[in-house]
Amino acid sequence: MDITDFYDTFFEEAEELLADMERHLLDLDVDDPDSEQLNAIFRAAHSIKGGAGTFGFDVLQKTTHILENLLDHARKGELALRADLVDTFLEAKDIMHEQLDAYRSEQTPDQEAFERICRTLQQIALEELSSGTLEPGLAASEASAPVAGEQAPALSQASELAAPVDDVTSAGSDAGCLVVTLLNVGDKDRTLLVEELEQLGTIQSQSGDEKRYEVLLQGDVSADDIEAVMCFIIEPEQIEIRPAAAPAVAPASGAPEAAPAPMVASEKAPVSEKKTTAADTKASEKKAPAKKAATESSSIRVSVDKVDQIINLVGELIITQSMLDQTVSEMSEQAGASSGSLQNGMSLLQRNARDLQEAVMSIRMIPMEFVFSRFPRVVRDTASKLGKEIELITEGKSTELDKSLVERITDPLTHLVRNSLDHGVELPEVREALGKPRTGKLTLSARHQGGNILIEVKDDGAGMDRDRLLAKARENGLSVSDTMSDEEVFQLIFAPGFSTAAQVTDVSGRGVGMDVVKRNIQGMGGRVEIQSKKGEGTNTRIVLPLTLAILDGMSIRVGGETFILPLSTVLESLQPAKDDMYAMAGDDVVLKVRDEYLPVIAIHEVLDVENAITDPTKSIAVIVQGEGRRYAMLVDELVGQQQVVVKNLEDNYRKVPGISAATILGDGSVALILDITGLHRLSRVKKEAGKRVNNPSFSFFKEAEPS
């Protein structure tokens, strides 16, 4: 097994630890720091350092080491915390994160940033700590000093914990001799072990056989360290260590410095090393809150692929179940009142299958907290950059959302938050002058609403200026009118290149972004709404489906074919009257629905369906809305609502215009899911192509009267 197999685990763990560290740093009250939190921060740094050392990520290890030293002083109360120190720690955390990313993508971390943060941290150490308390370890780990492999507190601490019941385990003698006895160790392993020992000290003598092999080792090394190294190759029971001359040994104080253990270890036995770091995290501080331990043991890390596979299989099960259901009901119709137990069994199966599907889907769901947890930092940084005072309130952290959506919502949400901070909330002085509290309030909330999740970014800032937006829109050459509704006016900010910011700051105002935000959200099958009142604040609402894997659909029939419409796009359906339909120049037809003229798209034309109802007055018009565009879609028949499992067409085929995906119906056949916006585009393309050929089907409509 290769050590690189463990990289991913380390990266994931380190990422979590960094996030933990950041959260605690942000929570930290500098005037009265909670020792529990300081410990937690220290622990995180410590664990990352251990791991980084093991895997040979020198730069990360050195950075963490310096930070860890400072944190150690802080938790011991030797270093007085200040807000600017916390900022520096946060910066260090960011740099560590960058380094981590660099290692992950197999690049070299930014040396400049590394040296800079090391200098900054050391500066703090020099200035803040009286020289007496400065540990030599700190000085030794200057940016340029070759640190890797010289320190391994992670290991030594771990071994302290993992130390078997042996009265000499903590014996560390300055230059004493130790007898290391290997029990039941094969030749091959023994050679390895002896090589290890040679690195730890001078081997005075060695003798013995497979059952019992004794090595007399001289050197400045503790039994713990030997054990820690050996554990990677053999079981702890197989080692016995005792002082050779049995001198009165001073108990090892604190975390003894280990010899080049990590280097050796990392080459030989990643598995046990992984365990050691884990054990280290968990147990290195006995004060660790019990709650943390509980959550660790009650969850497992599973790859998303596996979960998706289960979801797929359950989807199959549901389809098979409904096929079976259909057959059984057909059978019982033929056979009259046949076996009731079969019926019972079927309904039980149906219920169980549904429950199973729900349970499986919930695996993919993760709480919004994952997204929200990054915002305290974003708000803090942005606010201090802008000189604003902001209080961040998050609500509904436990609201659950599909993992893939959570990942994709983070960026748009960050953008919206920054926008709110920059454009929305006023400067403290301005706020005071307006009679508002100095501190602006930014509320992030998430909650379920029907089959959707509603995420709101709400501020109590200046709100949007309708007139200014309109003026700006005209300036940008967008077609607007004064009669537009507020909502339509506010949607203008999502137009590409639109910005009303008086000046461009490095936070926002470049006019790029809001359109991307909207596109991203639409890409997730969601929409954005803005409510705003001048002087009182703005509320941006994002409505997202709970998951992308299942869709609430309306099945429709055209000719002999069944299609699925996403229910979220359907506004209403009606039977069009002949009087309400008007032909426009060319072969376009519009339908008048309550004083609104909607373009009409006949599905059978766009998708070339045969045997469909061609007389619009006999078909059904479904009013649909997609990307702000509304039109009437002519279909033969509405079949009903149903939840469908979304299947990608592109896996084995290609993108089909007007079709977003496919699904499998209860009878095992495939139905295509219509793409509302794509159909509109497709209809335009088709009309253009067939312009010369006159389409007779709409010719009997009266001409639009000139207005």
Partner 1 sequence: MNPTINEAVLAAEAENREFLVFSLGEEEYAIDILKVQEIRGYENVTRIANAPDFIKGVTNLRGVIVPIVDLRIKFHLDNVEYGGQTVVIVVNVADRIVGIVVDGVSDVMTLTPEQIKPAPEFGVTLSSDFLSGLGSLDDRMLVLVDIDKLLTSEEMALVDSTRKA
Where in the sequence numbering do the catalytic residues fall? 46, 68, 419
Q: Three-class SS string for 171-222?
A: EECCCCEEEEEEECCCHHHHHHHHHHHHHHCEEEEEEECCCEEEEEEECCCE
427, 593, 649, 704: residue in contact with partner 1 (rule CB under 8 A): 649
CB atoms within 10 A of CB 586: 11
Q: How far is the CB of 608 from partner 1 (least distance, A)?
A: 5
User: Which residue number, 323 or 378, has a Cβ lying nearer to partner 1?
Assistant: 323
121, 319, 446, 549: residue in contact with partner 1 (rule CB under 8 A): 319
User: 29: which residues sit within 8 A by CB, 6+ positions away?
Assistant: none
User: Is 523 one of the binding residues for partner 1 (CB under 8 A)?
Assistant: no
User: Is 633 one of the binding residues for partner 1 (CB under 8 A)?
Assistant: no
Part in contact with partner 1 (CB under 8 A); list of ranges 162-170, 181-189, 205-213, 647-655: 647-655
Part in contact with partner 1 (CB under 8 A); list of ranges 106-114, 227-235, 566-574, 648-656: 648-656
The DSSP secondary-structure symbol of 225 reads: H
What x/- string results for residues 592 through 631 when contact with partner 1 is judged by CB under 8 A? --------------xxxx----------------------
668, 690, 691, 702: residue in contact with partner 1 (rule CB under 8 A): 668
3-state secondary structure of 22: helix
Q: How far is the CB of 365 from partner 1 (least distance, A)?
A: 22
User: Is 652 one of the binding residues for partner 1 (CB under 8 A)?
Assistant: yes
| Contacts to partner 1 from residues 545-584, by CB under 8 A | 561
User: Is 316 one of the binding residues for partner 1 (CB under 8 A)?
Assistant: yes
User: Is 691 one of the binding residues for partner 1 (CB under 8 A)?
Assistant: no
Residues 164 and 237: beta-carbon distance below 8 Å? yes
Nearest to 249 by CA among 273, 224, 267: 224
Q: How far is the CB of 524 from partner 1 (least distance, A)?
A: 21
Report the alpha-carbon distance of residue 81 to residue 60 in Å, rounded.
Answer: 24
User: 82: which residues sit within 8 A by CB, 6+ positions away?
Assistant: 30
Q: How far is the CB of 649 from partner 1 (least distance, A)?
A: 6
Size of the site for partner 1 (CB under 8 A): 30
3-state secondary structure of 50: helix
User: Is 146 one of the binding residues for partner 1 (CB under 8 A)?
Assistant: no
User: Which residue number, 221 or 606, has a Cβ lying nearer to partner 1?
Assistant: 606
Burial status of residue 56 (CB atoms within 10 A of its CB: 0-12, 13-18, 19 or more):
middle
Report the alpha-carbon distance of residue 655 to residue 651 in Å, rounded.
Answer: 9
CB atoms within 10 A of CB 357: 19
Q: How far is the CB of 312 from partner 1 (least distance, A)?
A: 6
Q: How far is the CB of 265 from partner 1 (least distance, A)?
A: 40
User: Is 537 one of the binding residues for partner 1 (CB under 8 A)?
Assistant: no
31, 245, 295, 653: residue in contact with partner 1 (rule CB under 8 A): 653
Q: How far is the CB of 656 from partner 1 (least distance, A)?
A: 6
The DSSP secondary-structure symbol of 612 reads: -
The DSSP-derived string for 263-278 is HHHHHH-HHHHHHHHH
User: Which residue number, 112 or 651, has a Cβ lying nearer to partner 1?
Assistant: 651
User: Which residue number, 153 or 315, has a Cβ lying nearer to partner 1?
Assistant: 315
The DSSP-derived string for 657-674 is TTEEEEEE-TTS-EEEEE
Give the DSSP H or E segment for 333. helix 304-334
Q: How far is the CB of 694 from partner 1 (least distance, A)?
A: 21
326, 648, 691, 702: residue in contact with partner 1 (rule CB under 8 A): 648
Residues 451 and 552: beta-carbon distance below 8 Å? yes
User: Is 669 one of the binding residues for partner 1 (CB under 8 A)?
Assistant: yes
3-state secondary structure of 310: helix
Report the alpha-carbon distance of residue 25 to residue 84 in Å, rounded.
Answer: 12
User: Which residues are near partner 1 by CB under 8 A?
Assistant: 312, 315-316, 319, 561, 606-609, 647-659, 662, 664, 668-672, 682
